[in-house]
């Protein structure tokens, strides 16, 4: 099976996207009024207060260990692998939210470290889906969507 757009150049892809996407799909999120409104909502709820504990910037970025991944093959348990993935994803979403809301704990370098950790992962496929003929599971699709956002 050949990959879609495998022989498409960067310039051709740029032209294709420019012609089909005239404006940013998230342009409204960059409007100062939208940011201010979201910041006020976060401050009025407990979201603002919980961001520092969700981000935990003083803790190291989790790595997704092979042993946790293989635990599924050994025992059938997804618990440890999913817990590792969930902790990092929670931190990623909170760090991006903090940056967008201009929270005092926001740190672009920390957010980039979290993003880089996903680039270092040897797989995004969940262990339970690894041997499936089509390894595009919802977990990796959801992660790709989060990274795109």
DSSP per-residue letters across 57-109? TTSPPPP--HHHHHHHHHHS--HHHHHHHHHHHHHHHHHHHHHHHT-TT--HH
pLDDT score recorded for residue 124: 75
Q: Pick from 117, 116, 127, 119: which is nearest to 66 by CA?
A: 127
The answer to whether 81 touches 136, Cβ cutoff 8 Å, is: no
DSSP state of 2: P
Flag whether 149 is in a domain.
no
Flag whether 6 is in a domain.
no
pLDDT score recorded for residue 131: 74
Flag whether 129 is in a domain.
no
Q: How many residues are recorded in the chain?
A: 149
pLDDT score recorded for residue 2: 56
Flag whether 88 is in a domain.
yes
Flag whether 11 is in a domain.
no
Flag whether 60 is in a domain.
yes
Where the chain has pLDDT below 70, the residues are 1-5, 20-25, 133-136
> At which residue do the structure tokens 């496929």 appear?
125
Which structural domain, as residue segments, surrounds residue 32? Answer: 28-121
Flag whether 83 is in a domain.
yes
Tell me the pLDDT of the chain averaged across its residues: 84
pLDDT score recorded for residue 37: 93
The structural domain count of the chain equals: 1
Left (φ > 0), alpha (ψ -120 to 50) or beta: where does 5 sit?
A: left
pLDDT score recorded for residue 1: 44
Flag whether 33 is in a domain.
yes
13-44 confidence digits (pLDDT tens): 778 777 766 666 677 777 889 999 999 999 99
pLDDT score recorded for residue 141: 80
Rounded to two decimals, the pTM is 0.75
């Amino acid at each position: 099976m050949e990959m879609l757009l495998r022989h498409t150049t960067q310039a051709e892809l740029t032209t294709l996207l420019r012609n089909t996407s005239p404006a940013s799909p998230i342009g409204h999120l960059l409007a100062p009024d939208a940011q201010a409104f979201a910041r006020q909502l976060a401050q009025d709820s407990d979201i603002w207060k919980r961001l520092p504990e969700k981000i935990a910037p003083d803790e190291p970025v989790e790595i997704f260990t092979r042993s946790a991944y293989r635990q599924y093959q050994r025992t059938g348990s997804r618990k440890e692998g999913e817990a590792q993935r969930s902790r990092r994803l929670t931190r990623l979403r909170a760090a991006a939210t903090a940056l967008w809301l201009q929270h005092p704990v926001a740190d672009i370098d920390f957010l980039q470290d979290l993003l880089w950790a996903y680039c270092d992962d040897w797989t995004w496929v969940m262990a339970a889906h690894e041997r499936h003929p089509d390894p595009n599971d919802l977990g990796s699709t959801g992660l790709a969507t989060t990274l795109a956002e």
